[in-house]
Each structure stands twice: as C-alpha cells, then as structure tokens.
Chain A
Amino acid sequence: MKNINTQVNIAGLKLKNPVITASGSFGFGREYSEYMDLNKLGGISVKGLTLKPRQGNRPPRIAETPAGILNSVGLQNPGVEAFIKNEIPFLRQFDTAIIANIAGNTVEDYCQMAEILSDADIDAIELNLSCPNTKEGCMIFGISPNGVASITNQVKKYCKKPLIVKLTPNVTNIMAIAEAAEAGGADAVSLINTILGMAIDINTRRPILANNFGGLSGPAVKPVALRMVYEAATRVKIPVIGMGGISTADDAIEFMLAGASAVMVGTANFAYPAVCVEIADGIATYIQKHNYDNIYDIIGKLELNT
C-alpha cells in the first residue's frame, strides 16, 4: 500500500492529518490518552480557557436529544496559567498540534490571554466567540459582523500564533460573519459551535438543564453545519475548519468536499473514545481508493448541481 499523505497546512499550522478534537469534548487529552494514541491526531483543541479559573454552571449540564446532545458546561476550566503550567508539558509529549481555545468576558480578556499564550509552547489560538453557556455570554462578540471584525482585529495585535476564529451558528448570515473574521485578520475560521437549544422534562415541567438552555451538538446538527461551512468557504480565502456532528470518515469527507481544510470532532468522542483515529484512517483509505494524490484533491471539490 502506498503511503497516503494526509498532511494539511492551515495558516502556517502543519497538521499530520486533518482530524482535530473539538474544544470541550476532549479536556486536555489526558483522559483520552488511555484509550488512544494521541500521536495519531492532527491536533487537539483544548477545553475553552478563561483568564481566571471558572467553576461553570450548575448541573445537570447535559441532556440527550434526538441524535444529539445539549450541554451547558459553562466553561469550567483551571484558567490559562494553570493550563500553561500543568497541561502543556503533558500534551507536548505527543506529536500533535496544540490549539488553545480561549473565551473572555471583555475584549481585554481576550487580548491578555492571546498575549500570554503567544509566549507559551502551543501551535495556534482558537478564539471562541461563540460560547452560548455563560451568563456574561461571550457569544455577544460573535453575533454581528462588526463585533467579530473588531475583536479579531484587537486580538491579532497581541497574537503571535496562527489565529483561528471560531464562529457561532446562532446568526442569520454566516457568510457576513466569516468575511468579517477574515477582514479582522483571522488566519483561519472554525465552525460551527453549538446551536442554542432547549429540552423539557414534561413530568417536572422544567427544562432538563439547570441552565435552562444549552448548546446542541452531535449528528443532529450536521446538515446545518455542512451548509454553513460550505457558505463560509465560498466567501473567504483563509482556511475553514469544519465541525458539527462528524462521527465517521464519510462525514468528515463531506465537510472537506464542502470546503473545509480540516475537521474537528466533538460529541462523537463520547460514545467511541478512539473515533478520531478511525476517522483519520478512513480519510486516508478514501484518498487511496480514489487514487488521489493527497488531501488537497478533496478540499472544496464539491460540484453543485446546476
């Protein structure tokens, strides 16, 4: 079998394969390292970091819905300093890209974190403008083109690493938002974050989540995510990282055909801890089966019906 090259280059970030674990689904990799070889991942986007440690929302924080889940974790994390001290040394033992996902309450928070992390041993920063689960709501930055352009532009001044801007799907026009991120200086965009949703227990007449609302992810969101990734990819020149409901290599290839240069996988890890390795292998098999030279023969190669 010829050695299949699935390496991709995203804004100066070299990934050995296009499969990255999505922020919040994979912690800092420690737990999953017992179930899989982290060296086989293209990258790891770590749990969303904030400047100071956060305890997150009250439980229950999860509800299963048809083919998906709602979560309202609310960014429980040890803070950016503890991440640098305790988690980077662990992650660096593995040959995989480290992407620091950050969220803040103010523009200053984002800038300060970008500055601190620029001096840390990580490979890229992912700006989470789209978390629906905090009271202060960092989503507020992500829902208008002006907001996205402005915060990207500010953070870019402090950021010495490739800057990925993560977009929320809770908007009417994703194309305008993606363009705004590019105009603000983003090196790449990633989408989608979770879709705001709700689930109700009819016996207690209350929402299942203590937070009332939560973010929907998993296979249920895939068609929406795919459409948004396609729309974003047609509008921007910077690379697009696609996610939302990816559970198999076939799902990942759909996103890549729609224009994603790489993919992130979240919810699917919960059921099958080693699924990302299977997805990466499956993409290589697909390339080989179709006799393509490399991964770039599928990225954005969708042909629309006329």
Chain B
Amino acid sequence: MPKVLREKIKRIENIAPGIFLMNIESGYIAENAKPGQFVNIKCCEGLNALLRRPISICRVDRSEGTFDIVFQVKGTGTEFLCRKQAGETVDLIGPLGNSFDIDDKYENIAVVGGGIGIFPLLFLLNEKKATKKTAFLGFRNKELIVLRKEFEQASDKLNISTDDGSEGYNGLITDLLEKDIVQAGYDMIYTCGPTPMIKKVCNIADSSSIKCQVSLEQRMGCGIGACLVCACKTKYGDDWEYSHVCKDGPVFSSSEVIFE
C-alpha cells in the first residue's frame, strides 16, 4: 500500500548534464516497491511546483533500506529537486502504480528504453530472474549516457544507440531491436521511453507475436487514481475506454494500449 512519507536524502549526484541520481533512505519503499512503480514527489513546499512530480523507482537496496531515483531537470519541479542536499528530507508518496509482469515463465527477455525511460528498466533487470536478458538503450548523445555499468551488470548484453552517432549505433534503438528480433527468440519485451519509440517497439513485438509491456507517461494531478486527469486510451471489448496511467498503469500490455 502506498504511503505519504518524509524520507532522508542520503546522496545526490549529478551523473550527466542535467541528470541527477538521488539515493533516498526508505525502508518502506525498498521493502515494498516493484519494478515499474513510481514515487510522487513534492519538490518544494509552498506554491511553486504545486503538484507532485512522478519519478520511477530505479533501484532498491533492501539490506540498506534505500532506493534510487534518477531524473532529468525539465522545469520548475525537477529544478527544485536537484538543488536538494544530502541530509535534507523529501516528501513523497509511494510506491504507486502497477508493475511489470516479471513472472519466471519469461526466460529470454529484452528491455528497450529511451532517454528518461530507461530508469524503471534497470530495476526490472535487477529483479527479473531470467536465463537471458538483453538491454537496448537509446540516448541523444554520448554525454547523456548514464548508468552504463549498472545496465551491463544487470543484463547479458547491452546495446546502445545515440541519435548523433557519438557512441554505439548511429540511429534509432528500435533499428537494433528489429535486426535482432528474428534470431533472438525473446519471449517478452519491456519498453519505456518517448512515445514514437514505444509505439515502434510495440509494432515490432506484435509483428513477431512477442508479448510486450509498455510503461506510459501522462501528466498527473493526484497520482492515486482519483482526479482522472492522467487518461490513456485502452481497448475495452470491441470498443475503447480511458484508463488512468497512475492507477491502471503506468504499465500496460501492448495489446491493450491504443496509440493516438
């Protein structure tokens, strides 16, 4: 069950231009979080950044009772958040949302992430027991590549692409997935990132009849399923309905999401 928590920041580190890793002491989150879930953070008190900001849980350390989030500075909220110091507290609600299906029956999995969408996938790789795990990560350029070592350790093979070719494959990460898909024999693909990317991943998975789960983003109000602002279109019988990313998601099966 999610809780409102005031937790102590143990460490905050600027790991790439505009990207910060925050290590937070929270036995509760470490104990209860599942891959795909997020925390909703009040980035500052008062009237600035009025709403909480959703950020994925990237890693947990159960023995230490801590967890990591990694976030990119985008606007007011994340700007306040990145100025917090070790020792200060952060007001958060979590763990929120549903989680990826990491059942043991999936034995050969791929994760496909782009930009800030890669973070929940690291948690997934670390929790997933699978005989084979392949990671595909796309970045804008070399400078923005983060957590490379962590992803290498958590997977059997790490593929990297950059939009400008400054590191790894020059182009879209979905190109690499597409090339690999026939002989790789994946039985599950997990994806999170920009909409054009996840759409493509869903198409690739569907055309190869491989199961696929996608983590969606949407602007949120309450983050707990009450205000209904975070709508996303999903199938409902032969019809469709608006589901809600914060409560019904953020993880959906590719066969239920309707991209517009």
Contact = CB atoms under 8 A, between A and B. Distances in A.
A137 interface: no
Contacts of B230: 59, 61-62
B232 interface: yes
Contacts, number: 99
B interface majority secondary structure: loop
A271 B226 CA distance: 13
7 contacts: A31-B222, A62-B220, A67-B50, A71-B229, A218-B50, A219-B47, A273-B93
Interface in A15-34: 24-27, 30-32, 34
Interface of B: 1-4, 42, 47, 49-52, 93, 218-232, 241-242, 247, 260
Contact of B50 (A60, A69, A73): A69
Given A62-B229, A76-B228, A273-B224, A34 B219 contact: no
A270 B242 contact: no
B50 A64 contact: yes
Nearest to B77: A64
Nearest to A35: B4
B227 A270 contact: yes
Interface residues of A, number: 36
Interface of A: 24-27, 30-32, 34-35, 47, 55-64, 66-69, 71, 73, 76, 218-219, 267, 269-274
Contacts of A68: 50
Contacts of B220: 62
A83 to B, nearest CB: 14
B51 A56 contact: no
Q: Which of B4, B51, B226 has the most CB of A within 10 A?
A: B226
A55 B231 CA distance: 10
Given A218-B50, A219-B47, A270-B52, A56 B2 contact: no
A25 B228 contact: no
Nearest to B93: A273
Contacts of B242: 55-56, 59, 76
A273 B227 CA distance: 12
A269 B50 CA distance: 11
Given A47-B228, A270-B223, 13 more contacts: A56-B242, A59-B231, A60-B218, A60-B219, A61-B228, A61-B231, A62-B51, A66-B47, A71-B227, A76-B231, A270-B222, A271-B50, A273-B224
Contact of B227 (A25, A34, A57, A272): A25
B226 A26 contact: yes
